[in-house]
Amino acid sequence: MADSTKIESHLNEDRKFPPAEAFAKQARIPSMKRYKELYDQSIADPEAFWAAEASELHWQKKWDTVLEWDAPFAKWFVGGKLNVSESCVDHHLQGARKDKKAIIWEGEPGEVRTLTYQELHKEVCRFANALKANGVKVGDRVIIYMPMVPEAAIAMLACARIGAVHSVVFGGFSAESIKDRIEDSGATAVITADGGFRRGGVVALKANVDEALTKVETIQKVIVLERTKNEVAMVEGRDVWWHDAVADVSTDCPAEAFDSEHPLFILYTSGSTGKPKGIMHTSGGYLTGTYATSKYIFDLREDDVYWCTADVGWITGHSYIVYGPLANGASILMYEGAPNWPEPDRFWQLVEKHRATILYTAPTAIRAFIKWGDEHVDKHDLSSLRLLGTVGEPINPEAWMWYHEKIGGGRCPIVDTWWQTETGAIMLTPLPGATPTKPGTATLPFFGVDAAILDEEGNEVGPNEGGKLVIRKPWPSMLRTIYGDEGRYKETYWGEYEGIYLAGDGARRDEDGYFWIVGRLDDVLNVSGHRLGTAEIESALVSHESVAEAAAVGRPDEIKGQGVVAFVTLKEGYDAGPELRDTLRAHVGKVIGAIAKPDVIRFTEALPKTRSGKIMRRLLKEICSGSGAISGDTTTLEDFSVVASLQAGEDE
Ligand code: 7RM
C-alpha cells in the first residue's frame, strides 16, 4: 500500500555531465575529491569555514565570536564592525580594480553606460550624502522603487553606507503593494524614478508612489531619478529630484562602521496566503554568504562579464547582482528591459555585444526562449559564455538540455542553484569545476550547508524517498526574523522540527546524494494515497516535443481523493486538440506511470505566474475546484487576464 505521508518519485534521469577538463583545470574547486574534502571539513566545523571566508572581506573591527546560536536566533561575527558599501566598493580602489568596470548597463532603448569601481564609489558617496541631507538616519527604513538602472544599485549601496535599511519594491508592483510595504516597515523615505522603460512603454513609477502616499503617513521625503522624462507631479517640500539632491553635496562620505548584525535590508516575499513577510537580513553574515557563494559557484575570474538577469527587486538581484558580485570586485552587466524587446533575441544580442561570460537566469525565461524558437538564438555569437546558471524553480530536464546545448554550446557547465529569499545565499548547487551535473537537480549542498530530507517524524529518509527539505545548522546569510513578527518567524520556519530550518519544499535525494526539488509542500498532490510532487509531472509533459511549459495541480475526485489536472502551453507551431491531449496523457503514463496521468489537460496561452516568474499553482487549483473562484492574495500575480481567461474556460 502507498505510504500517504511520503512524497513519491517516479522520474528517472540518467544523463550525467562531468565538468569539461579545461574548465576543471582552472577552477577553484577542480574535483569532486576536493569538494568532498572541503565539504566534510566545513560541516565538521562550519564556524571555521565561514570565518575564513569572512576574513577575505573588509572589516573595520574583527569579530570576537563567530556565531552565537540561540535557536532559532543567530548572530554571526559578533563584535565585528564593517560597512557593507565599503566592502563592496572602497575595498577595490587600491589596485587595478579601481578602473575596472563595476557596472555595464544597457537601457531598454539601447543606450550603454559604464561605471568603474572608482566612479561607482563617487556616486554612492554622493547619494549617501544626499540621503543624509534629506534627513535619512541610521536604522531608518527606505523604500527603493526603481527601474533596472545603475542608480538602483547606487541607492542600495548608499543606504548601506549610512546604515539605513533598504526595502526594494519590485518596479512591477502596484501602488497598493508599495503602501503595504511602507506600512509594515514604517519607512520614512522613498527613492524612485519618473519612470522606467518596459516593452517600449513607460512604467509610471512616480505616479504609483504618489498614489501609495495618499494612504500612509510616515514618508517625509521622496527622491526622484529622472529616467524617462515623462511628466510627474512633484510635491513641494516632500519630493526632490535625484540630480538636485546630489548637486551640492560632497563626494566624500566616510564609511561609518556598523555592527555585523546591523540590519542591511528587509525584502518582502509573499507567502502563498496572508500578508507579505518582511524577510530581514543583516550585514556581516549576509555579505559573507553572498561573497563566498558568488566566488565558488560562478568561479569568478578577474576578466568575467557577469550577467544575472534578475531584477534588483528580488533576492536574486540583491545577492547576485549587487552584494555578492561587487564584494568579489566583478564586472556586472545590468539590463533595464524585457527579454523580447524589440525582438525575442534581445538577451542574445546583449550577450554578444557585451561578451558576457557568465549568464544566470530563471527556468521561466528559458522556457519562454524555447517557445519563441531557436532562430532568435542562432542569429548571435554566444561563444563568450563559459558558465550558465539557473534559479527560481525546478528546471525541467528538457529545458536544461536546451540551455546546455543551444546557449552553452555544450561546453558551459550549468549551475542549478537552489535557495530562497530567506536563505539569502545559494544553498544547493553544483560547483562548476567539480560536480558532474544531471538535468533537473541542484545537486549537492554548498560548503557549511547541512541540508537533509526528513519524514514527518523528523527522521532522514532513504535514497529516492521524498520528504521535507531542511537545513540543520545555522548559516551566516540566513534571515534573522520576519520584520515585526517574531512569532510568525518561529512558526513558519522552525515550528515543524526543533532547531531545524524548514524550507517548505518537498525533495528527494538520489543514489548520488543529489537533491531533487519535487515542488512546494503546499502544492503536493494526493492521488489514491500517492503523494506526488508537481515537478515530475510537469517535467514529463515538458519532455514532449510539443510542450513549452506545464503546471500540474490536484482537483477533488470522489474516488481517488485528487485527480491530476495539467495546464499546458505549446511551442510555436503545434496545435491544441483532442489528439494531442491523448498523446500527452499517454506520454506522462509512459514517462512516470499511470498514477500521474492527468485526468484533464487544458491548453492555455500562458500560465499564471508571480512577477518573478514562478508558476502560481494555487490559483490553478482554485480554478479547478468547486466554484472556480479565487480567494487568496493575487497581488503578486503578473497578469490577471491569464486567470480570468482560464476561469472563463476560454482555453477549452
Ligand atoms: C532565489 C529564489 C524560493 C523558492 C524555493 C523553491 C524555488 C528556487 C530553485 C527552486 C528548484 C531551484 N528565492 N526554487 N530555486 N526550486 N530548483 N534551483 O527564487 O524566495 O523567491 O523562492 O523557489 O521552491 O523554496 S524565492
**pLDDT tens across 602-614, in order?**
999 999 998 889 9
203 pLDDT exceeds 90? yes
> What cell was used for 534?
508537481
Pairing mode, strands 277-282 and 481-482:
antiparallel
Whether 419 is in the pocket of ligand 1, judged by its Cβ within 6 Å, is yes
Assign 633 a pLDDT band (cuts: 50, 70, 90): low
pLDDT tens sequence across 500-547:
999 999 999 999 999 999 999 999 999 988 899 999 999 999 999 999
Instruction: Report, as an integer, the average pLDDT of 242-261.
Output: 97
274 pLDDT exceeds 70? no
Instruction: Report, as an integer, the average pLDDT of 390-400.
Output: 96
Assign 429 a pLDDT band (cuts: 50, 70, 90): very high
Whether 503 is in the pocket of ligand 1, judged by its Cβ within 6 Å, is yes
- In 484-603, alpha helices (H): 486-494, 534-542, 578-591
Residue whose grid cell is 517524524 = 457
Pairing mode, strands 189-193 and 141-145:
parallel
Q: Looking at residue 1, what is its pLDDT?
A: 45
Q: Which of 13, 321, 417, 420 to mutate to test the pocket of ligand 1 (most atoms within 8 A of CB)?
A: 420
CA 519 / ligand 1 centre spacing (Å): 9
Pick the residue whose CA is nearest to atom 6 on ligand 1.
393
Among 22, 108, 36, 76, which residue's Cα sits nearest to residue 433? 22
Inter-residue contact 43 to 567 (CB < 8 Å): no
CA distance 89 to 27: 25
pLDDT tens sequence across 289-316:
999 999 999 999 999 999 999 999 999 9
Q: Looking at residue 571, what is its pLDDT?
A: 93
CA distance 194 to 147: 9
Q: Looking at residue 178, what is its pLDDT?
A: 96
Lowest average pLDDT, out of 5-9, 39-43, 533-537, goes to 5-9
> What cell was used for 23?
574548465
Whether 514 is in the pocket of ligand 1, judged by its Cβ within 6 Å, is no
Longest alpha-carbon distance in the chain: 75
Inter-residue contact 295 to 28 (CB < 8 Å): yes
Whether 534 is in the pocket of ligand 1, judged by its Cβ within 6 Å, is no
Instruction: Report, as an integer, the average pLDDT of 16-45.
Output: 97
Side by side, which strands form the sheet with 112-116? Answer: 112-116, 101-106, 331-335, 305-308, 358-361, 387-390, 414-416
Q: Which of 517, 534, 536, 638 to mutate to test the pocket of ligand 1 (most atoms within 8 A of CB)?
A: 517
- Give 620-623 contacts, CB < 8 A, sequence gap 24+: 620/551, 620/553, 620/565, 620/567, 620/646, 621/523, 621/553, 621/554, 621/555, 623/647
- Which residues are CB-contacts of 378 (< 8 A; sequence separation ≥ 6)? none
pLDDT tens sequence across 74-107:
999 999 999 999 999 999 999 999 999 999 999 9
pLDDT more than 90, % of the chain: 89
- Rounded to 10 degrees, the C-alpha dihedral 30/36/41/45 comes to 110
CA distance 375 to 486: 51
- Which residues are CB-contacts of 109 (< 8 A; sequence separation ≥ 6)? 197
CA 393 / ligand 1 centre spacing (Å): 5
CA distance 480 to 174: 27
Among 80, 71, 501, which residue's Cα sits nearest to residue 282? 80
Closest ligand 1 atom to residue 428 Cα is 18
Q: Looking at residue 641, what is its pLDDT?
A: 77
Per-domain residue ranges of the chain:
39-338+417-451, 524-648
Closest ligand 1 atom to residue 416 Cα is 18
Kindly report the pTM of this predicted structure.
Answer: 0.95
- Rounded to 10 degrees, the C-alpha dihedral 431/437/440/442 comes to -20
177 pLDDT exceeds 50? yes
Pick the residue whose CA is nearest to atom 10 on ligand 1.
393
CA 419 / ligand 1 centre spacing (Å): 5
Whether 519 is in the pocket of ligand 1, judged by its Cβ within 6 Å, is no
Please identify, in words, the CATH class of the domain defined by 524-648: alpha beta
DSSP-assigned letters across all residues of 586-641: HHHHHHT-GGG--SEEEE-S---BBTTS-B-HHHHHHHHSTT----S--TTBS-HH
Among 428, 418, 398, which residue's Cα sits nearest to residue 536? 398
> What cell was used for 308?
544575472
Whether the CA torsion 331, 336, 338, 342 is positive or negative: it is negative
Burial 363-382 (b: 16+ CB within 10 A, else e): bbbbbbbbebeeebbeeeeb
652 pLDDT exceeds 60? no
Pick the residue whose CA is nearest to atom 13 on ligand 1.
420
Q: How far apart are the first and last CA of the chain?
A: 36
Lowest average pLDDT, out of 46-60, 191-205, 319-333, 608-622, goes to 608-622
pLDDT tens sequence across 108-150:
999 999 999 999 999 999 999 999 999 999 999 999 999 999 9
Assign 647 a pLDDT band (cuts: 50, 70, 90): confident
pLDDT tens sequence across 461-508:
999 999 999 999 999 999 999 999 999 999 999 999 999 999 999 999
Q: Looking at residue 272, what is its pLDDT?
A: 57
Residue whose grid cell is 475526485 = 557
φ, ψ (nearest 5 deg) of residue 307: -125, 115
649 pLDDT exceeds 80? no
Determine the distance from the C-alpha atom of residue 79 to the mean position of all C-alpha atoms in its chain, rounded to a whole number: 30
Whether 396 is in the pocket of ligand 1, judged by its Cβ within 6 Å, is no
Per CATH, is 39-338+417-451 categorized as 1.20.210.10? no
Tell me if the bond preceding 342 is cis, omega within 30° of 0. Answer: yes
Mean pLDDT, the chain, integer: 95
Q: Looking at residue 612, what is its pLDDT?
A: 87
637 pLDDT exceeds 90? no
Closest ligand 1 atom to residue 519 Cα is 24
CA distance 190 to 238: 10
pLDDT more than 70, % of the chain: 97
> Which residues does residue 280 pair with via DSSP β-bridges, in sequence order?
266, 481
Closest ligand 1 atom to residue 612 Cα is 21
Pick the residue whose CA is nearest to atom 26 on ligand 1.
420
Assign 6 a pLDDT band (cuts: 50, 70, 90): confident
